[in-house]
Structure 1
C-alpha cells in the first residue's frame, strides 16, 4: 500500500477521466446497465432490497474488471497502437458471478452491508420509540393521516438537541464504515483479498492518505454542485467518472506489480503495508 502526496486527490479524477474518455460508450454503458439491473431488482416484492445488496458487489466487481481490462489495453497501446482497437466484451460485467474465488467474500460483504443498514435503522427506530413514549402518537399509525401530519409530529423530535447527538453518531458510524469498505470490492476482485483483510486494508489506506482523499472529496462536492445547472444531465458522466476515479485511486495506492507479492488471501496479518511514495503527477 502506498502513502501518497496531497496532489494525488486531483490526479485520481484526471486519470479517471482519461480512462472514461478512452472508451466512453463502453464505460457509460456498463455503469448504466448496472444501475438499471439494480433498479429492476429493487422492484421485486419482499426480496428486492436483499437481491440488490447481494448483486451489487458482483456487478460492481464486474465494472472494475472491465476498467482493469481497459487500462491494460491502454498501457499496451503505448507501445502497440493497434492494441487500442482490441474489443472488450460486455460479458465481463457478469464475469464475477461465474468466478468462484471471490464469491464467499463478496457475499460476506453484502451481508455486512445489510447488517450495517439494519443497525442504523434500529438505532433510529429506537430513538424515535423512546422519544414518542408518553406522547400521543396515534397519528403515526392512523391510516387516514396524511404524510404531512406524520412529518409535523416527527419533525420536532428529529430536530431536537438530543437528535443532534444521534445524527452525529450515525454520521461518524457511516464515515468509519465507508472508510472500511471503500476499496473492498476491487481488493477482493482484482487482488484476491479476503473480506476482513480487505476491510482493514481499505480503512488503513483512507486513513494514511486522508489529505489526498480530502482534496478528492472537495473536488467531488464541486462537481456534484453542477448537477442542478445541467438539469441532471451531467450525472451521465459524473456517475461513471466517480467509479473510474475510484479505480484510479485503487491502482495508485496498490500498484499491481507491488501487490502481487502481498499476502491477501487469508492471513491475519494486515495486507498492503503502507509505503512512503510521493507522486508529482497531477
Structure 2
C-alpha cells in the first residue's frame, strides 16, 4: 500500500498535553535523562575546538534519532539501554541522509554566523542595527522551522530526500504556530527557573522539554493511504 504524508493542525492547548505526557514519560523511564545528557555532552564538545564542532554537528542527527528512539521505546514499554542512543550510527539506511542534513545545517548557519561577527562590535558599543537584528531573528526562525522535525521525518518516516524533509518540517511548524508558540512560552518560563535553583532544575527541565517536543512530532504527522478507497489512517 502506497502511503502519503499528512500534517495535522493541533489546537494551542495541545502544548499542555505534550508537557504533561513528557513529564509522565520521563518520570516512568529515568534512563531518558541519561540519554539526553549524553547527547548534549557530545554536542557541547564542539565548543572546545572548531574541528570538534564539525564532528559534533555531523553526529547530532544520529544521536538525536537515538534519543527519539529511546522515547518511542519508553512509550511502548520496551527495553531501553544506553546503546539505544548509538543505534542509528549502526544503521546504514539513514546514514547518507543524516550526513547530508548535518552538512546542510552547517551551510544554512553560515549567514547567521557572518552577520553576528559583523554586528558584534556594534552590539558591544550599544549601537545595535535593528535591521540586522531583525534579519538575524528571521534567519534563526526559518532555520529552526526547516530543521525542527527533520531528524524524526528521516528516521521514522523513512524519507531520504532532503527537500521533502525540510518542507515537511517547515509546514508542520507553519500550520501549528499557536501550539508551538504556547509551548515555546511555557518552555522559556520553565528554563527561567534555573537561576533561582542554581541551575539544578535544568537537570530535569531540559530533557523534559526535549521529550515533550518529540511528542509534538507524534501529534503533527500521520500517514494516510495515497488512494481514498484504501484503509484508514496510520499513526506515525
Output the CA distance in 1 between the equivalents of 2:35 and 2:174. 30
Output the CA distance in 2 between the equivalents of 1:52 and 1:16. 26
Output the CA distance in 2 between the equivalents of 1:187 and 1:12. 19
Matched, 1:209 2:176: yes
Output the CA distance in 1 between the equivalents of 2:223 and 2:92. 21
1:22 Cα deviation from its structure 2 partner: 1.2
Output the CA distance in 2 between the equivalents of 1:198 and 1:72. 26
Distance 1:205 1:154, change over 3 A: closer
The residue correspondences of 1:197-276 to structure 2 (distance < 5 A) are 197-254=164-221, 258-259=222-223, 261=225
Matched, 1:178 2:118: no
Q: Which residue of 2 aligns with 1:146?
A: none
- Which residue of 101, 104, 126 corresponds with 1:109? 101
- Contact 1:180/1:199 (<8 A) preserved: yes
- Which residue of 46, 57, 60 corresponds with 1:56? 60
Distance 1:155 1:71, change over 3 A: same
Decide which structure has the larger Cα Rg and report it.
Answer: 1
The count of residues paired between Structure 1 and Structure 2 equals 220
Gaps of at least 5 residues in structure 2 are 1-6, 227-232
TM-score normalised by length of structure 1 = 0.72
1:37 Cα deviation from its structure 2 partner: 2.7
- Which residue of 16, 20, 28 corresponds with 2:22? 16
Output the CA distance in 1 between the equivalents of 2:117 and 2:50. 20
Distance 1:4 1:169, change over 3 A: same
Q: Which residue of 1 aligns with 2:40?
A: 35
Structure 2 counterpart SS, 1:193: coil
TM-score normalised by length of structure 2 = 0.85
1:216 Cα deviation from its structure 2 partner: 0.8
- Contact 2:46/2:54 (<8 A) preserved: no
Gaps of at least 5 residues in structure 1 are 74-85, 129-150, 263-274, 276-282
1:36 Cα deviation from its structure 2 partner: 2.3
Output the CA distance in 2 between the equivalents of 1:204 and 1:243. 20
Distance 1:237 1:214, change over 3 A: same
Q: Which residue of 2 aligns with 1:66?
A: 70
- Contact 1:191/1:260 (<8 A) preserved: no
Distance 1:46 1:182, change over 3 A: closer
The residue correspondences of 1:85-164 to structure 2 (distance < 5 A) are 87-126=79-118, 155-156=124-125, 159-160=126-127, 163-164=129-130
Q: Which has the higher contact order (CA 8 A, sep 6+)?
A: 1
CA displacement, residues 71-127 of structure 1 (integer Å, 9 cap, x when unaligned)? 122xxxxxxxxxxxx532221110111111211121111111111222212234456
